[in-house]
Amino acid sequence: MASAVRVFSGIQPTGVPQLGNYLGSIKNWVALQSQELSPSVSAPHEQLISIVDLHALTVPRDPARLRTETVEMAASLIACGIDPQRSVLFRQSAVPAHTQLFWALACITPVGWLNRMTQWKSKLQQQQPGVKADLLNVHSNAAQSLLTGLFTYPVLMAADVLLYRATHVPVGEDQVQHMELAHDLVHHFRKKYRQDMFPDPKVLLTPTKRVMSLKDPLRKMSKSDPNEQSRITLTDTDDQIMRKIRKAHTDSIPGLSYDPDTRPGISNLFAIYAALNDTDPQTAVASMHGFTNLQLKEAVASAVIKTVAPIREQTQRLLADQGYVRSLLRENEAKARAAAEVGWNDVAKCIGLD
């Protein structure tokens, strides 16, 4: 691994992904395998995709289920088009240098920087309904039950990226703040140790900003939603997909239009259709002039089925041979460890740990 351009992405091991994961991240990662990122560099860029199982420990997880869902995620990523020969697909926990660099960075990260992060506040708000996230800080009474891992995980995220000297990081809008922390740590490390150790990674915002719940289009589609009708999972059958889309929340306003503020349900369906067809929502609206809500739903369901069906079939084939999936992970983890060892050894020498 010697390319000057290196892309790093991470995804939680939540089992088989849902449609929002695919459109918001995975589809973009597949495209990046053959996309030129830097015309000035003749060598192809390298892409690392980490199943971030250490990040998964920031919330309670059953150990057996975590193991199973890690393999399911790996199989799903491969089924979606991630090629283990072109992308390094690996488990975060299989590369010890992630936590080594995390500790080195944590030791120079002011608590105030982490106190400004919004993700831990949102998670705490979910655990304690009634708490106002915008008023939370680490000294609040409500924050006294906050687990250290959840508070500090943005530093581990920064370590994930900086360990490999990643130059580009594809993220959604909700992760931009964490990348700003990584940027701050690059410059803080440079100032403290007087060495230009890490490149400043460039954020690649995913084209599809966010896929919303089919039942509550004001909320993001999520596997943590107890209502299974709220999401499309990449192993759903054609019939399940059709039923879920037909029951998706819309409105009674005559005609079709794209306006996420006033018509969130209809707009979510147009956004899904547009993302699946590599177009924009307004173009999708124009292509369905005169359609009823039902006709829109049928068009969206057909587009989803066309994408999901081959992914479902390939995922099922891979999960029927989990030993093969695990062997692919082990091969890629050896590559990731080799690259990480170079990065960590340079840091260790810089800070006096060699």
The catalytically annotated residue of 123, 215, 244, 297 is 123
Neighbours of 160 (CB within 10 A): 26
Closest to 171 (Cα-Cα) out of 207, 137, 142, 141: 207
Q: How many CB atoms lie within 10 A of CB 216?
A: 15
DSSP 138: T
| Segment holding 9, helix H or strand E | strand 6-11
Give the pair of three-digit tokens for residue 313.
């079939």
Short-list 202, 171, 167, 185, CA closest to 347: 185
Which of 202, 209, 223, 335 is the catalytic position? 223
Residue with tokens 């990040």: 55
Q: Name 202's bridge partners.
A: 168
> Which of 17, 35, 37, 53 is closest to 333 using CA atoms?
53
Ramachandran quadrant class, 172 (left: phi over 0; alpha: psi -120 to 50; beta: rest): beta
- The question of whether 123 is a catalytic residue gets the answer yes
Give yes or no: 223 in active site: yes
Judge whether 335 and 1 are in contact, CB under 8 Å: yes
Closest CA to 29 of 69, 72, 84: 84
Catalytic residue, chosen from 27, 215, 220, 297, is 220
* Residue 191 a catalytic site member: no
Residues with active-site annotation: 123, 220, 223
